[in-house]
A and B are shown apart, each in its own frame.
Chain A
Amino acid sequence: MTKAKKYWKGLAELNNDPIVEKLRQNEFVEEIPVDEFLGDKELSTTSTSRRDFLKFLGFSTAAATLAACETPINKAIPYVIKPEEITPGVANYYATTMYDGHDYASVLVKTREGRPIKIDANKSATNARIQASVLSLYDSSRLKNPMKGGVDTDWSTTDAEIIVKLNEIKSGGGKIAILSSTIISPSTTQLIADFSAAYGNVTHVQMDAVSYSGMLDANEASFGVRVLPTYHFDKAEVIVSFGADFLGNWLNADYAKQYVTARNPNSGKMAKHYQVESALSLTGSNADDRIQIKPSEQAGLLSNLYSALNGGTADSRIAKMANDLANNAGKSIVVCNSNDAEVQTLVNAINNTLGNYENTLSLSNPSYLRQGNDTEVSALIEEMNAGKIAALITYNVNPSYTLLDADGYNAGLKKVGLTIATSLYNDESAAKMMYACPDNHYLESWGDANPSNGVYTLMQPTISPLFKGRQFQESLMVWVGKSDYHTYLQNTYSSIDWNKSVHDGYFTQNQSAATVSSFTASVPSFDVVKADGIEFEMYEKISMGDGTQANNPWLQELPDPLSRACWDNYLTMSAATARDLGITNWNVSNGALNGNMVNITVNGTTLNNVPVMIQPGQAVGTIAMAVGYGRTAAGKCGDGIGFNAFALGNGTATIEVVGGEYEFAATQLHHTMMGREIVKETTLADFIKDPYSGNHQVTYATHNGKQPADKVTLWDKFDHSTGHFWNMSIDLTSCIGCSACVISCHAENNVPVVGKEEVRKSRDMHWIRIDRYFSSDMTKELSEAEKVSAIDMYAEMEEPSANPETVFQPVMCQHCSNAPCETVCPVAATSHGNEGQNHMAYNRCVGTRYCANNCPYKVRRFNWFQYSDNDKFDFNMNDDHGKMVLNPDVVVRSRGVMEKCSMCIQKIQEVKLDAKKAGKKVRDEDAQTACSSACPTNAIVFGDVNDDTHKIQALKKEERAYKLLEHLNTDPSVFYQTKIRNKA
């Protein structure tokens, strides 16, 4: 061991002078005047100089500045124990069933890191609401805890109290009522039976927010079975709908696909579609022939049609239709939206006369999607008011909001001793009840469904319950002293391969249906009369449905396909009626739409200051308003939007014009094509004669004669002959405007919601929009024939016809080969991909917006503000729960950058990498975009045109194929197929 040398700092240290030790203890040689400036001494006596004060100030400012410079830390917490099935970055898919009491679908759920983020179709088609339901899962406004009298409590207390009270009722012989939506789950029906067995006097009443009771009653009267038929629109050659919006909201989301199958122009045959209605519905807008009537005329016209089919004379308006039906007996369908059993009996009689039963519609193979019974609901309300109900348990219903007789129900509720709501939300009804028990979202639940005879689909949880919810079935079991619904469910289907069925999401099994007797009912007869006065009718919007998902910002911001307005409901009115009443719509200086307001009274209920939207296609003398709005307890995003049309009910309206103006938020402010060839269309007859009909190429006169645009160009042709070349075909004949693609795109690409005020400023962020154009009475041909000046012609062209022909055109980034956006971007933030896409590099974008100006399709969307984590945009991206729906594969854009459709490049990239790993070729059916996979009618087809096996190659060569604004020679990768109408 070496001895360390020691050096002294001075003699004092060597001598061990005590001062050395004292100084060593003292870090600062001079005393620090801490007391001076931190002490409580009077300011005037302190010796802290002004100079010191400034030093402290400077130091503090500098320190605070430095501290503020730190970048915020986002914590990514790795799994301590990684679940076996989860690999971060790799999606898992689960088959399940979506059912919320209104919409039903068999779906495939994409989960990432244990979070469901996207809904796709499995065995049945999806609509916008089904696509959007994944966001409703992450709704922070959901009921999070059991509540008693509006105060949070816990499950053990709630259960204990409920069981005690139920037993008291049982021993007292009181009657317990269960009021639910239509139950399509056989195991739940079984559980309700178990519950009835345990508590004796139990009655189960089903109700549908939008009732089909009349139809069910008519079927019972006509055929002895209280069920709805299954329809096969694909087998029909003539489709007649009296107001039934079967492509939009009527009954089942699957009909669109059948409809399009029946109307394939390439097969040379298209089912002829007549729509007889007052308000323009999505279905009516697709009809070949649309007849406008007042709702009061419906019964008379049906009666007239029935007699015409039996040899009578038809009303001139429906003579052609009657003739077509008679010629297509057994190959036609007549449907009707009426909730009047007598009218529906007439419809049954017509279908029966035509021999359509068991051909195009089937009662022996019934649908169970709607089983609500209005009579039973009224009886229940009566009993409640008479004090005969001791306990009421509701499930999946919101009667205080959806019932016409909500007042009667609410009054009755006060006379019921025990009221329990099982609900996702503390909604209008649950808030009035003693106990509000949080239900689980379908993505958190086990379950089963039996939508139609012999078809079963299963529901499985894809995430642990986010809140302290418990599904209704589990609660029922707890209240009869049992538990474990999962096992119970499995035991319900003991004969099937459970794991396989859960994996597939469905199974089929023989099911005995009630025997259908032959048509026996006496056919009622009505005269064709047109009632005076303005008639009001409720309708459903494809975005809002019955209002169950009113707190879903995606759906609130989804523009109605016909009015193109969002964040609202309103009275739709024809231009002529509006003129009579002195009502107008007008555009304010920034283009936004404003309208007049009215007070409307129907069936004794008055709604004040309801805005009026002038809607082409609305029959004169009729008005309509969408249900699902006017919620008061939906949550922060759905409350106070619009008016509750359920409260009015159908009937004759009294209208009083009031002052003031209403501000709409519409994403499209101009409604006609102004004589331009944007949507090319032709008739079936012309198309058969000339497949190029309506789609003649634009040419330019050159020294070499007439040449198409791509021959008169300065551009170097992009070489897409090798590798992938992704293209998209959009068939305008098949596109029905349902908007499922729009929501699918939102979910896949983290498209922000901007709110009503911003939509009003024309700043919606939708990457895909469905342009809707109405025909106008003025055309170029007419103006030439009548020598109308160009100025007058264009002015008149802006006005849509009173009963217009409608076209829908989905428009997203067209991924031009000669992209106008690419040449003008100063920083090359948008550039061309070698697979045909037009890329957008967000980090490079400086936000000059030149690209958007130069885009002829106007598909580019600018981030005017920071849309995430911003209290001014308090939607799902400003909410810790709502953010869980974000797709981690797609960046959330910051403010100041341009964004647009990427053709779901993240999905293509994933498919390519998977194929590469597997050492195989990319299978084209795997490469799908969000919009193409969501399209219920396969109108949108996506694929690689360089792949000889893919149908996109043939589609591109089709005679109907055309590119939007072809004359500009932007050479898009997206092309459209001419719209064909089956009209004379």
Chain B
Amino acid sequence: MHKEAEIRDPLILGNKTYHDISKDIAKPVEGKANKYWWILFSLSLVLFIWGVLCIAYTIGTGIGAWGLNKTVGWAWDITNFVWWIGIGHAGTLISAVLLLFRQKWRMSINRSAEAMTIFAVVQAALFPLIHMGRPWLAYYVFPIPNQFGSLWMNFNSPLIWDVFAISTYFSVSVVFWYIGLIPDFAMIRDRMSATISPMKKKLYSLLSFGWSGKAKHWQRFEEVSLVLAGLATPLVFSVHSIVSMDFATSIVPGWHTTIFPPYFVLGALFSGFAMVETLLIIMRKVVSLESYITIKHIEYMNVIIILTGSLVGTAYMTELFMSWYSGVEFEQYAFLNRATGPYWWAYAIMMTCNVLTPQLYWIKSIRTSFVATFVISIFINIGMWFERFVIIVTSLHRDYLPSAWTMFSPTFIDIGIFLGTIGFFFTLFLLYSRTFPVIAQAELKSILKSSGSEYKNKK
């Protein structure tokens, strides 16, 4: 059995028994939704529908419905894409990397973090599709055998690498998530009464894949988890590296930067953890998981945020230094223009939210406060959105030839689509919180005896 130092804070509060854990985790699935859930769900659904209408309008009339122009060919679309894909990264890091490092505190949060990953990737994947001028021909980007004289895609294009990176990431994440869910689905199945809710029982039976808790099942489960964690770990680094190459391989000053792959990965983890915090702080209230998602979990994540946030700040400084050191006037102007040009306010928001606010976590009382964490996590989410906006728009709007310089301003369709994806994301997440075991209870039970508050106190 797992041994843990006594001085470590318990990870499960409230003197829970195994049965308590089963009950608590199954409660949202078995019980009725509370008022908060319905309010949030209705709000999300409205936003989602609004987004769908905006997308329909865009596809119906043309990309001209957005604020783009001949100089700025990407703006909110790709900003949103990179933002969402970045958010997904924390989930994979928590479930795969922390699993390999045997970090037990991940157990209460990995399920939701992974759900967040998958839902965020769904939002992200929407943008490459709808940003196309002719989305009905999107299948051209897949290596499908064809009758155009065996015409393939352009394997040199980073957008094609994106297609592979994102589809791989999405499928591995879904499989990994699902494997982890099997014993928990089985737990719910076992608690369901075949007479009261036969349909549900049947559904969860199907989902649990005939799990019976045999030792062999457990052994296979552990092995598959480990293998998938091994597979998913490189993805944490590869996906955002490849996304960053959309910019890094171009020749646009401000995009053409070799620092981008690590810089983007760190930014992704940074924003991902912020989003996990935003979601979990809401969720522990909405579905009453205060005993499982403790301030200790939040504090651990805040430590990671200080680290990644500081690294992101270092990357910003490195970029500035390199542009000056390069001696290339286009490069120098691009960064000078970011900081002092017409979009200085976006740069200022980015710097404040991403570099300054996470430094507050050095203060213990802030690091261990739900309210402060929630506020700061929102700041980071905003800051990281602006980071992508700054990279994309301020680089494009003034590149090589001043004759083509112009500005970008979003239309209500741009804004509508972004809000729509937020709505879609929360719609999925809220539905998930009512139908899925939101905490990996089977795993969690394995640390009850070592990290549960009752057992800690006994010693």
Is the pair B134, A896 in contact by a Cβ cutoff of 8 Å? yes
A150 contacts the other chain (Cβ, under 8 Å)?
Answer: no
Cα A822 to Cα B398 in complex, Å, equals 22
Interface locus among A674-682, A923-931, A932-940:
A674-682
Which A residues lie within 8 Å of B63 (CB)?
Answer: 847, 849, 862, 864, 896
Interface residues of B toward A: which range? 35 or more
Closest beta carbon of chain B to A526's beta carbon, Å: 42
Interface locus among B111-119, B174-182, B247-255:
B247-255
Is the pair B133, A846 in contact by a Cβ cutoff of 8 Å? yes
A519 contacts the other chain (Cβ, under 8 Å)?
Answer: no
Kindly count the residue-residue contacts between A and B in the assembled complex, taking CB atoms under 8 Å apart: 187
Is the pair B73, A853 in contact by a Cβ cutoff of 8 Å? yes
Which B residues lie within 8 Å of A862 (CB)?
Answer: 63, 68, 70, 73, 133
Cα A828 to Cα B131 in complex, Å, equals 18
Is the pair B403, A854 in contact by a Cβ cutoff of 8 Å? no
Which B residues lie within 8 Å of A853 (CB)?
Answer: 73-74, 250, 252, 396
A308 contacts the other chain (Cβ, under 8 Å)?
Answer: no
A591 contacts the other chain (Cβ, under 8 Å)?
Answer: yes
Which B residues lie within 8 Å of A820 (CB)?
Answer: 250-251
Is the pair B406, A762 in contact by a Cβ cutoff of 8 Å? yes
Chain A positions 853 through 887: 1 when the CB is less than 8 Å from some CB of chain B, otherwise 0: 11011101111111000000000000000000000
Q: Which residue of B lies closest to A895 (CB)?
A: B62
B40 contacts the other chain (Cβ, under 8 Å)?
Answer: no
Which B residues lie within 8 Å of A589 (CB)?
Answer: 407, 409
A699 contacts the other chain (Cβ, under 8 Å)?
Answer: no
Which B residues lie within 8 Å of A866 (CB)?
Answer: 62
Q: Which residue of A lies closest to B159 (CB)?
A: A826
Is the pair A864, B62 in contact by a Cβ cutoff of 8 Å? yes
Q: Known: A675-B329, A824-B157. Is A845-B133 also a contact (CB below 8 A)?
A: yes
Closest beta carbon of chain A to B192's beta carbon, Å: 38
Which B residues lie within 8 Å of A809 (CB)?
Answer: 403
Closest beta carbon of chain B to A943's beta carbon, Å: 25
Which B residues lie within 8 Å of A590 (CB)?
Answer: 67, 69, 406-409
Is the pair A828, B141 in contact by a Cβ cutoff of 8 Å? no
B47-97 interface (Cβ within 8 A of A): 61-64, 67-71, 73-74
Is the pair A965, B400 in contact by a Cβ cutoff of 8 Å? yes
Q: Known: A823-B156, A846-B141, A897-B133. Is A762-B70 also a contact (CB below 8 A)?
A: yes
Query: Among the listed B67, B152, B330, B409, which residue makes an inter-chain contact with A828, where contact means beta carbons less than 8 Å apart?
Result: B152
Which B residues lie within 8 Å of A850 (CB)?
Answer: 73-74, 157, 159, 246, 250
Is the pair A848, B329 in contact by a Cβ cutoff of 8 Å? no
Which B residues lie within 8 Å of A12 (CB)?
Answer: none
Q: Which residue of B lies closest to A564 (CB)?
A: B403
B158 contacts the other chain (Cβ, under 8 Å)?
Answer: yes
Q: Known: A849-B73, A896-B132, A965-B400. Is A827-B61 also a contact (CB below 8 A)?
A: no
Chain B positions 329 through 373: 1 when the CB is less than 8 Å from some CB of chain A, otherwise 0: 110110011001010000000000000000000000000000000
Cα A849 to Cα B408 in complex, Å, equals 15
Which B residues lie within 8 Å of A678 (CB)?
Answer: 401-402
A170 contacts the other chain (Cβ, under 8 Å)?
Answer: no
B137 contacts the other chain (Cβ, under 8 Å)?
Answer: yes
Is the pair B69, A670 in contact by a Cβ cutoff of 8 Å? no
Is the pair A763, B73 in contact by a Cβ cutoff of 8 Å? no
Which B residues lie within 8 Å of A764 (CB)?
Answer: 70
Which B residues lie within 8 Å of A827 (CB)?
Answer: 140-141, 153-154
B399 contacts the other chain (Cβ, under 8 Å)?
Answer: yes
Is the pair A669, B405 in contact by a Cβ cutoff of 8 Å? yes
Which A residues lie within 8 Å of B336 (CB)?
Answer: 790-791, 794
Cα A56 to Cα B365 in complex, Å, equals 71
Q: Known: A590-B409, A847-B134, A853-B74. Is A826-B153 also a contact (CB below 8 A)?
A: yes
A506 contacts the other chain (Cβ, under 8 Å)?
Answer: no
A455 contacts the other chain (Cβ, under 8 Å)?
Answer: no
Is the pair A861, B251 in contact by a Cβ cutoff of 8 Å? no
Is the pair B403, A668 in contact by a Cβ cutoff of 8 Å? yes
Is the pair B74, A763 in contact by a Cβ cutoff of 8 Å? no
B100 contacts the other chain (Cβ, under 8 Å)?
Answer: no
B303 contacts the other chain (Cβ, under 8 Å)?
Answer: no
Cα A675 to Cα B69 in complex, Å, equals 25
Query: Among the listed A825, A854, A896, A897, which residue makes an inter-chain contact with B250, where contact means beta carbons less than 8 Å apart?
Result: A854
A486 contacts the other chain (Cβ, under 8 Å)?
Answer: no
A771 contacts the other chain (Cβ, under 8 Å)?
Answer: yes
B138 contacts the other chain (Cβ, under 8 Å)?
Answer: yes
Chain B positions 151 through 174: 1 when the CB is less than 8 Å from some CB of chain A, otherwise 0: 111101111100100000000000
Which B residues lie within 8 Å of A844 (CB)?
Answer: 140, 151
Residue among A762, A771, A827, A857 with the highest chain B CB neighbour number at 10 A: A827
Is the pair B151, A826 in contact by a Cβ cutoff of 8 Å? no
Closest beta carbon of chain B to A588's beta carbon, Å: 8
Query: Among the listed A675, A771, A846, which residue makes an inter-chain contact with B401, where contact means beta carbons less than 8 Å apart?
Result: A771
Closest beta carbon of chain A to B322's beta carbon, Å: 16
B282 contacts the other chain (Cβ, under 8 Å)?
Answer: no
Closest beta carbon of chain A to B365's beta carbon, Å: 39
Is the pair B70, A858 in contact by a Cβ cutoff of 8 Å? yes
A401 contacts the other chain (Cβ, under 8 Å)?
Answer: no
Cα A856 to Cα B330 in complex, Å, equals 11
Which B residues lie within 8 Å of A773 (CB)?
Answer: 402-403
A761 contacts the other chain (Cβ, under 8 Å)?
Answer: yes
Is the pair B71, A856 in contact by a Cβ cutoff of 8 Å? no
B404 contacts the other chain (Cβ, under 8 Å)?
Answer: yes
Is the pair A856, B69 in contact by a Cβ cutoff of 8 Å? no
Which A residues lie within 8 Å of B128 (CB)?
Answer: 848
Closest beta carbon of chain B to A779's beta carbon, Å: 13
Closest beta carbon of chain A to B404's beta carbon, Å: 4
Query: Among the listed B160, B340, B407, which residue makes an inter-chain contact with A591, where contact means beta carbons less than 8 Å apart?
Result: B407
Is the pair A824, B70 in contact by a Cβ cutoff of 8 Å? no
Chain B positions 109 through 150: 1 when the CB is less than 8 Å from some CB of chain A, otherwise 0: 000000000000000000010011111011011000000000
Which B residues lie within 8 Å of A863 (CB)?
Answer: 62, 133
Cα A763 to Cα B408 in complex, Å, equals 12
A596 contacts the other chain (Cβ, under 8 Å)?
Answer: no
Which A residues lie within 8 Å of B157 (CB)?
Answer: 823-826, 850
Chain A positions 649 through 674: 1 when the CB is less than 8 Å from some CB of chain B, otherwise 0: 00000000000000000001111111
Which B residues lie within 8 Å of A822 (CB)?
Answer: 154
A811 contacts the other chain (Cβ, under 8 Å)?
Answer: yes
B296-316 interface (Cβ within 8 A of A): none
A954 contacts the other chain (Cβ, under 8 Å)?
Answer: no
Cα A710 to Cα B24 in complex, Å, equals 68
Q: Known: A590-B67, A826-B157, A826-B159. Is A858-B132 also a contact (CB below 8 A)?
A: no
Is the pair B159, A824 in contact by a Cβ cutoff of 8 Å? yes
Closest beta carbon of chain A to B324's beta carbon, Å: 9
Residue among B63, B163, B249, B337 with the highest chain A CB neighbour number at 10 A: B63
Closest beta carbon of chain A to B151's beta carbon, Å: 7
Q: Which residue of B lies closest to A844 (CB)?
A: B140
Is the pair A864, B64 in contact by a Cβ cutoff of 8 Å? yes
Closest beta carbon of chain B to A238's beta carbon, Å: 32
Q: Known: A790-B336, A861-B70, A862-B70. Is A846-B137 also a contact (CB below 8 A)?
A: yes
Is the pair B154, A852 in contact by a Cβ cutoff of 8 Å? no
A968 contacts the other chain (Cβ, under 8 Å)?
Answer: yes
Cα A580 to Cα B337 in complex, Å, equals 30
Cα A848 to Cα B74 in complex, Å, equals 9
Closest beta carbon of chain A to B251's beta carbon, Å: 5
Q: Which residue of B lies closest to A763 (CB)?
A: B69
Q: Which 7 A-B pairs have the closest CB atoms?
A: A847-B133, A896-B133, A864-B64, A591-B407, A849-B73, A590-B409, A762-B69
17 residue pairs bridging A and B, Cβ less than 8 Å apart: A589-B407, A590-B408, A591-B397, A591-B405, A762-B70, A811-B401, A824-B157, A828-B152, A828-B153, A845-B134, A846-B138, A847-B132, A849-B131, A850-B250, A858-B71, A860-B70, A894-B134
Binding site for B on A (CB under 8 A): 587-591, 668-676, 678, 758, 761-764, 769, 771-773, 790-791, 794, 809, 811, 820, 822-828, 844-850, 852-854, 856-858, 860-866, 894-898, 965, 968
4 further interface pairs, Cβ-Cβ under 8 Å (given A853-B250, A862-B70): A678-B401, A824-B250, A861-B70, A896-B133
